[in-house]
Amino acid sequence: MNTVASHVGQPILRRLLAAGRPLVMGVLNVTPDSFSDGGRFIDPALAVAHGRRMAQEGADILDIGAESTRPYGDAVPVPQEQELERLGPVVTAVIELGVPVSIDTIKADVAAWALRSGAAIVNDVWGLQRDPAMARVVAEHNAPVVIMHNRDAADPAIDIVADITAFFDRSLDIAARAGIARDAIVLDPGIGFGKTPQQSMMAIARLDAFRRFGLPLLVGASRKRFINTVVPSSPDQRLGGSIAAHLTAVRNGAAIVRVHDVAETVQALRVTAAIGSAG
């Protein structure tokens, strides 16, 4: 295992959260079809350079994904071999930057490979409910896991907070039965995934409803489509809306925000904290 793999294991999550401030997870997509930056970092050299840049800008975690999970139902499934082929030249090089790496995948075998290579965290956008082997892999590697709420399709008629809560209950039961430590779990309401734009905004506004689980909350609102319903804009024009959403999420209890624009988000969080301290 890579020597940088000392990050691996649930203590890394505790160490990160001990900073006592919101953490920033930088997004690194090595895919041709992600909704926001698809294709920009498919070249391994460009991907590693972008990871280095986000680390320098203050990212606490780098989240690497090689299969688009864009939440609009039109992402193309990627065979496991292709996902690993995309990750192979990138993961180890990014780990060597010294920032904890999370692997954004729904495949247990890909997660296992990444953890063996030195990744620290598994980010599962189906919250341990899609690949039946995922919980076992996470438990065997003693790794922290991000459990994200998801649905196959949005239903505007449902109570989205109740739906997210029920999903988390199921995922946490799966985690407990697999032997995943409770303090190795982060919950993510899955902004944009299986939700209408209004439901995505509701999930952020009602984030405190999920505090009853007593677990860290992650919000990834970066460049999401709900921003376009408020202010018409393309994904690369949604920086202001992304920062507004993440500052609101932090105010409502988020411990981690997952972002494309690391420097700008770090600045916004630091200025908000400084103003709060001055007050």
- Which of the residues are catalytic? 224, 258
Contact criterion met (CB below 8 Å) for 80 and 24: no
With tokens 């103003």, the residue in question is: 275
Which residues make Cβ contacts (< 8 Å) with residue 278, sequence separation at least 6?
none
The dihedral sign for the CA sequence 91, 95, 97, 99: positive
Measured distance CA(52)–CA(160) in Å, rounded? 37
| Coarse DSSP helix, strand, coil percentages of the chain, rounded to the nearest 5 percent | 50, 15, 40
What are 179's two structure tokens? Answer: 């032997």
